[in-house]
Amino acid sequence: MCTDNTGGVSDRDVPTGLLFTSVAARYDEFRPGYQDALFDDLAVLAELTPTSEVLEVGCGSGQATRGLLDRASRVLAIEPGPALADLARRRFTTERFALEEVRFEDCEPKELCDLVFSATAFHWVDPEVRWSKAALVLRPGGHLALVTHRTVGGATFDDLYEAARGLLATYAPEMDYEPAQPSAGSLIDAIRAESSDIGKAWFVAESKAGDTTAAEFFGEPQVRFYPWEHRYRASDAVGLLSTYSPYLALPPERSVPLLAGIEALIHDRFGGAVTRRYLTILALAERRGSPPGGTA
């Protein structure tokens, strides 16, 4: 579906986004996956059929890809991180899956798809082109579907951040202290308040996405919410934190003692485990009219 004029990952890639490929195995092990109920809803809302073709933007190690393959004919995945791309290729050997190591911005479509899907990755796409590019590769009546996990308040992970203030001040003073997370209800209300535009709604759902509008290219989104929680043993909690970009950006001489200190805190103050509450968000919108610069 795509040709890449850059020869793969280029100097223009977002450095922070590409940090994840350096910890591909840890990313695959510790990052949370996606619920079957989400993909069941996606199939209905996007009107997927056994002949539907999907373009997955930023597939990572393929944590969401199985849900797509189970409900569509073919998935073309885009992943600029070589190590993550390698994990996905080894995970899916079916001819119905293909993967290209290219940024979405540098992908030139050779054919149109029925669904553009991105799970916890679309915020890395250049905000100046993300909505127009997604519309460009969709057939008339096609959909854009975005998914993310948000941490919400009410679990002991909140208390862990508070307990780790001293460690963060010592080893990562430049890292923003993570305040108490919003409740699931308040986050749902805030997203619904912006639900006339998937760009606005996605900025609330995933603040790293930036405040952009998409109404020129996509209709009013449909949004679904999936609350859940997970209990992390100390080593798993630290493993999860070690895959987040603020920790990956630290040099080892600071990240190693910081994470070791957090693990010790979990044992000393939380009985060896902490619980984290999540709200998984699905937002889906239909492409408006003809593709930008093309004809329907």
Say if 173 falls within a structural domain. no
Say if 249 falls within a structural domain. no
Residue 277 contacts residue 184 (beta carbons within 8 Å): yes
The boundaries of the domain holding residue 214 are: 2-153+181-229+278-286
Say how many domains are in the chain.
1
Per the document, the length of the chain is 296
Helices 252-270 & 234-241, crossing angle to 10 degrees? 150
Say if 38 falls within a structural domain. yes
Say if 291 falls within a structural domain. no
Q: What is the pLDDT of residue 43?
A: 97
pLDDT digits (tens, 9 = 90+) for 53-108: 999 999 998 999 999 999 999 999 999 989 899 999 999 999 999 999 999 999 88
Residue 115 contacts residue 142 (beta carbons within 8 Å): yes
pLDDT (tens place) for every residue of the chain, 296 residues total = 565 444 333 333 444 445 666 677 787 788 888 999 999 999 999 999 999 999 999 999 899 999 999 999 999 999 998 989 999 999 999 999 999 999 999 988 778 999 999 999 999 899 999 999 999 999 999 999 999 999 999 999 989 988 999 999 999 998 876 667 899 999 999 999 999 999 999 999 998 888 899 999 999 999 999 999 999 999 999 999 998 888 988 999 999 999 999 999 999 999 999 999 999 999 999 999 765 555 44
- Closest to 211 measured CA to CA, from 222, 223, 220, 202: 202
Say if 264 falls within a structural domain. no
* H runs (alpha helix) in the chain: 15-18, 24-30, 36-45, 65-69, 82-91, 130-136, 156-163, 165-171, 184-193, 198-205, 234-241, 245-248, 252-270
Strands 74-78 and 97-100, sheet pairing: parallel
CATH label of the domain that carries residue 116: 3.40.50.150
> How many C-beta atoms surround the C-beta of residue 50 within 10 A?
7
Mean residue pLDDT of the chain comes to 89
Say if 158 falls within a structural domain. no
Read off the tokens for 16.
């922070």
Say if 240 falls within a structural domain. no
Report the distance separating Cα 27 and Cα 58, nearest Å. Answer: 13
